[in-house]
Each structure stands twice: as C-alpha cells, then as structure tokens.
Amino acid sequence: MSSNKRIQFYKKAINNFIDMSTKDATASVSKEHGIIGLTRILIAMEKLGISDGDCRFLALPDFTFTRSPRRWGAGFPYGCIIRTSGSNEKIPFIPLDFHPNCCGVTLAKIPYFDEDINSLQKRFNEIMNSYNELSLDDFKRGNHFIGIYHHNNEYYVLIHGSLDLVKSNLYAHRSKNVQSYMKTLDILNAPFNFLYGETAEIYFQEYLEYERKTLFYRKAFIMDLFPNAQVIFNKTHEGFYNMNTILLGGYVSSTPFDCPIMLSAGTDLSLVNINNPSNIGGEKIYCSPHGGGYSLNEVIDAKKTSKEIDSDFILFFNNGSKMLSDNLLSLPYSYRTDTDKYWCDIYNMGSIKKKLKPVLNMKI
C-alpha cells in the first residue's frame, strides 16, 4: 500500500474516532493505538468491498490498554464500542482479534447478608463444582470477582466474569474450528484475522448461544448462592451488541437502563441510570462504561514512537523521567475511580442513583 493511501485511511480513522474518555495519559496512548487498529479495520473493509460509511470508534471513560496481549497487539484497546458497518450491510464482517468472550456483570438485591467470608467461599466452591461446564476460577480469574455490597438496609451481590468454555470455542487461537474457516490479510505489516459472509453469520450465531449460556450461569449461580435474590441487572460488556457493534468494556441498549459501574475493591459501586443517548455510526444508542479502567501509575503523558501497530511507547513520569517500553501490559497500574463522574457529570450521559458500599470481595 502506498504511503499516501495509508495516510488517507489513518485520517479517516481519526475522523471516525469519538473521544469520550478521561483523556489522561493512559487514554491518550490507547487512542493512538486504537486509531491504528481502526485504520486496519477500514483497510480490510475496503479490500473486501464492504461499506465503511457507518464505521465508528467510541472511547468511553474507562478507555485504556487491555491486559490481553493478543487483543492489544491487534490494535484493540479496552473501554470502547466499535461500529464496523451499518445494519444494512449485505456482507457480514467480523474482525476476530478483539476476542469476544461474553464477559459481563450480574447484579442482584438480596434480603440480608450475615455470612463470614470463609463459609461463603465454601458454598461458592460447592456450587461451582456442581456445574460440569464451569471451571472453579471462571468468576475469579483476571479482574473477575464476586462482591457483596450494601446501601442503607439493602444488600446486593455482584458477579463479574466469563466462562473458559466460551474462550475455548470463540478465540481463534484456541479453537481449531474457527481456525479452519477464518481468513487472514496482511495489513500494515501485521496479520488481520477476520470472517465475512456466511462464516461470519455462523460465528455470530455461535456467539449468541454462548452469551445466553453465560448469562444463564451467572444468574443461576447467584440464585444458588442466595435463593431469594432479585436480579436487577445481567448484561454483557465484552462481545457483541449486534453483529456490527463490538463491545470492549461497555454496555449498550436501545432504551435507557440502570447499570453498575465497577471502580475498585475499595471504592463504592455506583448504580447509574443511563438516560442520554450517544450517536455512533448513524445509530442512537444508550451506553455506559462498565468500570474504571486501568491507569498507568505516575505517568503524566505517553505516546507511541511511530504509527506502526507494534511500535514502542515513550512514557513521561511526574518526576520528570522518561521510559521507553515495548510492553505497557507489564507496567504497574491502578484503577480509575472517577469514570462514573465523567460519564454522568462531565458528559451528562446519565445520573448516579445510589452508591453501594463494598462489604467483601471474593477473589481467590
């Protein structure tokens, strides 16, 4: 590809990028990386003859790097919603390397909670072992967890997680079935794995089945733990909203909704009403960040050294020093604790209904 053609796609990616992030150093370097990723999507779509008129990238306040090396290496940050094409597009198209895994959150109100953490752990393991399809650490790996919260005299339980069986069947590098029908293009000196046409449709239908299964198990698990629980939220933030809309750390709905925004183990859990729509690719949607997102510790500015997908990063620290790194994922980080305020108070996309205080988090 000529240099001029590449610049044209890069400029289009910049124009199609909607920045509603915190705009801190971590979000800034993730934006640089994500624009290159979006450039690759646009190039792939042109090569396949797919219209990119509705293609958009929306960065939410939890916009950050991802802890998945494969996802990040393909140009997919976290805390964003990506619209690949319009709903009228005749050729189904799915970029595979964003790795949909049906991760999400289930939140329920429970009548009371007076259990110690050891007995809760014991019951947790017993329930996990009762389901043949579940792995003991499905809801505890990475930043997944189960938490108990309270507000005045109300108690709540939350489960954040996905199932390993989903990753085994939907991740291209783990599924021989997906590998057998995926296509690959060399785009900007890196492989771009994708599906289009009938195989994309088949894959999406498989995804929907795994999403139904994940939603079912998270809800069933809560009901086994607390039989009188009242589920008030059960939604995916890492997968698809529809075939043309990718979720990487964001909730989407066609109507206003309430959702929890997870920040950190020591921070109150915000229950937020999302009541103001966003416009992404010609479609009005109601959306929300799912959490706080990673923030690089003591980094006040950051940038990529080039516009290559695998370029190094220069980090600027608050003591005046610099660091050259080829791997953000290994650096110390913390969780942002203000994304709920950004979304509600700065961007005016909703309102905080109540703050749930953490009682305990189980992550073992």
With residue 164 as reference, give the H or E element that holds it. Answer: helix 164-170
Pairing of strands 250-253, 322-325: unpaired
Distances (CA, A) of 344 to 177, 235, 270: 43, 20, 11
Q: Are the beta carbons of 272 and 259 closer than 8 angstroms?
A: yes
The pTM score is 0.95
Whole-number pLDDT of residue 52: 87
Q: Are the beta carbons of 72 and 329 closer than 8 angstroms?
A: yes
SS3 283: strand
**What domain count does the chain have?**
1
Total residue length of the chain? 364
With a cut of 90, say whether residue 182 has pLDDT above it.
Answer: yes
Binned at pLDDT 50, 70 and 90, residue 154 comes out as very high
| Residue range(s) defining the domain that contains residue 207 | 3-362
With a cut of 80, say whether residue 139 has pLDDT above it.
Answer: no
91 secondary structure, DSSP code: S
With residue 280 as reference, give the H or E element that holds it. Answer: strand 278-280
What are the tens digits of pLDDT across the range 44-56? 999 999 988 889 9
